[in-house]
A and B are shown apart, each in its own frame.
Chain A
Amino acid sequence: AAGVIQSPRHLIKEKRETATLKCYPIPRHDTVYWYQQGPGQDPQFLISFYEKMQSDKGSIPDRFSAQQFSDYHSELNMSSLELGDSALYFCASGGLIGETQYFGPGTRLLVL
């Protein structure tokens, strides 16, 4: 069965640089979620999209933005990167309310 695809899997950036993370949801899933997991921490919700519109917003820094495109893939844009942005970034996709969110393999971002 098709799973959530994330790219790149690993990314190394310098401070103040920009990064773009991509997510391709499971076919026919109309909701995409982004989570950030710092070392030794639980995943924290950043933002979600339903039918290409932002549906919910969590603790996402103003330096980050995201969107969902017409083909339902989503991109998380991160600017002015800081050391503290080093984390594992997950994308998940799902259907309607309460349905299971299936996670991609994650993008491991390291900011030097």
Chain B
Amino acid sequence: AQKVTQAQTEISVVEKEDVTLDCVYETRDTTYYLFWYKQPPSGELVFLIRRNSFDEQNEISGRYSWNFQKSTSSFNFTITASQVVDSAVYFCALSEAINHAGNMLTFGGGTRLMVKP
């Protein structure tokens, strides 16, 4: 069965600090997909990134970067020079390639990030 663990339940930083959110996953599939979503206080779930299991290339998007390491089953998310607007709950999620019709997401418990001015 698939499982996602976000060991950090809550992180507090001061604005402009860098912060890394950890994500560790378990799956028996060789083909799978990893995601990060942001849930601001308003409640919606905002898609940030998708990565498939065959693409270990790290990605950078502005102040955001992601480090995918299959050897440690980790997909960590770093925010550089954090801002107050980054305050939110961040979810890591996994879907497996089981059937042709799309697959459910299994979410980690989420990490609440608080960025203080």
Chain A residues engaging chain B, CB cutoff 8 angstroms: 31, 33, 35, 41-45, 48, 50-51, 55-56, 58, 88, 90, 92, 94-106, 108
Ranked nearest first, the 10 interchain pairs of A and B with the lowest CB-CB distance are A50-B101, A55-B101, A42-B107, A103-B45, A45-B104, A31-B102, A98-B33, A100-B50, A105-B44, A42-B110
Of the A-B pairs whose beta carbons lie under 8 Å apart in the complex, a sample of 20, sorted by A's number, is A31-B102, A33-B102, A42-B110, A45-B106, A50-B101, A50-B102, A55-B99, A55-B102, A90-B45, A92-B45, A97-B97, A97-B99, A97-B103, A98-B31, A98-B33, A98-B50, A99-B50, A101-B102, A103-B44, A106-B45
A41 to chain B, nearest CB (A): 8
Q: Which residues of B contact A31 (CB under 8 A)?
A: 101-102
B109: contacting residue among A42, A48, A51, A94, CB under 8 A: A42
In the complex the two chains form, is B97's CB within 8 Å of A98's CB? yes
Q: Give chain B nearest CB distance to A33 CB in angstroms.
A: 7
User: Quick check: A58 and B104 within 8 Å, CB to CB?
Assistant: yes
Write out, one digit per residue, whether chain B residues 77-111 have a CB within 8 A of any chain A CB (1) or not (0). 00000000000000100010101111111111110
A50, B102: Cα distance in complex, Å: 8
The distance in angstroms between the C-alpha atoms of A91 and B19, with both chains bound, is 30
Cβ-defined contact, A43 with B105, below 8 A: yes
Instruction: List the A side residues contacting B102 at CB < 8 Å.
Output: 31, 33, 48, 50, 55-56, 94-99, 101
User: Is B27 an interface residue, CB under 8 A from the partner?
Assistant: no
A19 to chain B, nearest CB (A): 18
A95–B33 CA distance with the chains assembled, in angstroms: 14
Type the 1/0 row for B15-45, where 1 means its CB is closer than 8 Å to any CB of A.
0000000000000000111010100000111
Q: Which residues of B contact A97 (CB under 8 A)?
A: 95, 97, 99-103
Q: Are A105 and B103 in contact (CB under 8 A)?
A: no
CB distance from B6 to the nearest CB of A (A): 9
List chain A residues, Cβ under 8 A from B47.
Answer: 100-103
| C-alpha gap A56/B100 in the complex (Å) | 11
The complex places the Cα of A42 from the Cα of B104 at a distance, in Å, of 14
Task: Report if B52 contacts A (CB, 8 A).
Answer: yes
* B45-A43 in contact (CB<8A): yes
